[in-house]
């Protein structure tokens, strides 16, 4: 089978989950003997453009003629059996959906976030969950400066999504939506998406446990808890900080992001917190492997968190917010424990209990590995993906 895979990468150095999934999924398809044509852009293009280029790219968020023509040209030359789109915003634009459909090629879209409900993709207003724009009245974004804290940018994005809502771009130009969790499916159906076009498929990670051992890292204690991922508001960084203001337990943190400087300043004043910043992936996982357990206090709807399924592959218990993917991935007392969104005291209590019960932590880690084996291995994922492709091809 020949697949045209399309994706808008985040910036260089980003470890965003959708970027990881795109790379892993396309590599898996090639490994299984399929032909994959990749068409990608990167937000670096916007960063490095001059004023004229930035204006052109901003206008292109509504409809990118350049990407429309390029995708049509690729389809006419390569004649793929299916087009699989991952992230299209901001640079690719919804024009690529029309390019594929007008060439009579079926379109599959993986929804890595909640962008079809919330144009900002986070379903957050500040630090509070918000799905109000599911009703299509996007101009409220301007009032709250939802997009990058700017009324002007929020107005631009609101107009873009209003236009494509009126045109039914996201409803009519996609043959199958791949969702990552039950909550995401519920939100889409409540917003008017066709239930029959939605399928749930988790992400996958390679078998880290089989190839990786814990490595003693200089400067780190023998026992510690780990948080790794984006150092951003949506990942619950402030929840993490509040919790460790009241804990003496060693914490190792790895990652980079917009709150990195603030977090570094706090970590410098907190003796039991070891902030390593961005850490190369394999080294990062070896440090996770040596941890007692992993904490993940995210405050937004995680799709299918690569952090969580990596932790499970490494046999690590998880403590996470009862939200999004975590809500269904973690069974309390079996492979981890969940706490209520915003309940910092509950978060602290669970951390202390698990830290003081190493046998329980070990058993949960074993069960986490079992969950990985059942749900998040590459082979099962491949079979699901091919099934989706065959269905849309008819």
Tell whether the torsion through CA atoms of 355, 357, 358 and 363 is positive or negative.
negative
**What class does CATH assign to 2-204+378-393?**
alpha beta
Going by pLDDT thresholds of 50, 70 and 90, the confidence category of residue 150 is very high
Q: What is the pTM of this model?
A: 0.94
* The CATH number, out of the four listed (3.40.50.2000, 1.10.10.10, 3.10.105.10, 1.20.140.10), of the domain defined by the range 208-375: 3.40.50.2000
Q: Check pLDDT > 70 for residue 352.
A: yes
pLDDT in tens, 355-394: 999 999 999 999 999 999 999 999 999 999 999 999 999 8
Residue that is written with structure tokens 């089989």 in the block:
210
Q: Check pLDDT > 80 for residue 166.
A: yes
Q: How far apart are CA 195 and CA 53, in angstroms?
A: 39
- Of 52-66, 89-103, 207-221, give the lowest mean pLDDT range: 207-221
Q: What is the pLDDT of residue 171?
A: 95
pLDDT in tens, 189-236: 999 999 999 999 999 999 877 777 777 888 999 999 999 999 999 999
pLDDT in tens, 115-146: 999 999 999 998 999 999 999 999 999 999 99
Q: What is the pLDDT of residue 13?
A: 65
Q: How far apart are CA 6 and CA 2, in angstroms?
A: 13
* The 35-42 sheet, strands edge to edge: 35-42, 2-9, 82-85, 107-110, 176-179, 198-200
Q: What is the pLDDT of residue 177?
A: 98
**Residues near 73 by beta carbon (within 8 Å), at least 6 away in sequence:** none
Looking at the chain, the domain(s) classified CATH 3.40.50.2000 span 2-204+378-393, 208-375
Q: Check pLDDT > 70 for residue 238.
A: yes
**Residues near 347 by beta carbon (within 8 Å), at least 6 away in sequence:** 239, 243, 295, 297, 319, 339
Classify 282 in phi/psi space as left (phi over 0), alpha (psi -120 to 50) or beta: alpha
Q: How far apart are CA 376 and CA 234, in angstroms?
A: 24
Q: What is the mean pLDDT of the chain?
A: 95
pLDDT in tens, 280-299: 998 999 999 999 999 999 99
Going by pLDDT thresholds of 50, 70 and 90, the confidence category of residue 310 is very high
């Amino acid at each position: 089978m020949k697949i045209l895979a399309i994706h808008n990468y985040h910036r260089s150095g980003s470890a965003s989950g959708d970027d990881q999934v795109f790379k892993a999924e396309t590599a898996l398809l090639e490994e299984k003997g399929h032909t994959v044509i990749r068409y990608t852009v990167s937000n670096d293009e916007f960063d490095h453009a001059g004023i004229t280029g930035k204006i052109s790219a901003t206008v292109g968020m509504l409809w990118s003629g350049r990407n429309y023509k390029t995708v049509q040209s690729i389809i006419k030359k390569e004649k793929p059996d299916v087009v699989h789109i991952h992230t299209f915003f901001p640079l690719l634009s919804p024009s690529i959906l029309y390019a594929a459909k007008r060439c009579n090629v079926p379109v599959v879209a993986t929804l890595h976030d909640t962008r079809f409900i919330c144009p900002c993709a986070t379903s957050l207003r500040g630090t509070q969950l918000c799905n109000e724009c599911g009703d299509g009245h996007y101009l409220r974004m301007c009032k709250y400066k939802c997009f990058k804290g700017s009324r002007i940018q929020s107005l631009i994005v609101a107009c873009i999504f209003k236009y494509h809502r009126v045109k039914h771009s996201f409803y009519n130009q996609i043959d199958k939506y791949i969702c990552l969790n039950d909550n995401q499916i519920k939100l889409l159906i409540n917003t008017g998406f066709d239930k029959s076009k939605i399928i749930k498929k988790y992400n996958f990670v390679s078998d880290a446990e089989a190839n990786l051992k814990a490595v003693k890292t200089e400067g780190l204690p023998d026992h510690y808890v780990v948080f790794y991922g984006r150092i951003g508001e949506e990942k619950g960084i402030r929840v993490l900080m509040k919790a460790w203001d009241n804990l003496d337990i060693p914490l190792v943190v790895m990652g980079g992001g917009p709150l990195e400087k603030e977090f570094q300043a706090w970590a410098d004043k907190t003796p039991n917190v070891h902030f390593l910043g961005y850490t190369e992936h394999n080294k990062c996982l070896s440090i996770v492997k040596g941890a007692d357990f992993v904490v993940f206090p995210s405050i937004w709807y995680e799709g299918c968190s690569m952090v969580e399924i990596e932790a499970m592959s490494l046999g690590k218990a998880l403590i996470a917010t009862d939200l999004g993917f975590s809500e269904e991935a973690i069974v309390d007392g079996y492979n981890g424990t969940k706490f209520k969104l915003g309940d910092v005291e509950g978060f602290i209590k669970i951390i202390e209990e698990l830290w003081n019960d190493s046998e329980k932590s070990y058993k949960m880690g074993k069960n986490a590995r079992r969950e990985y084996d059942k749900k998040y291995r590459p082979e099962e994922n491949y079979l699901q993906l091919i099934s989706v492709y065959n269905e849309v091809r008819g």
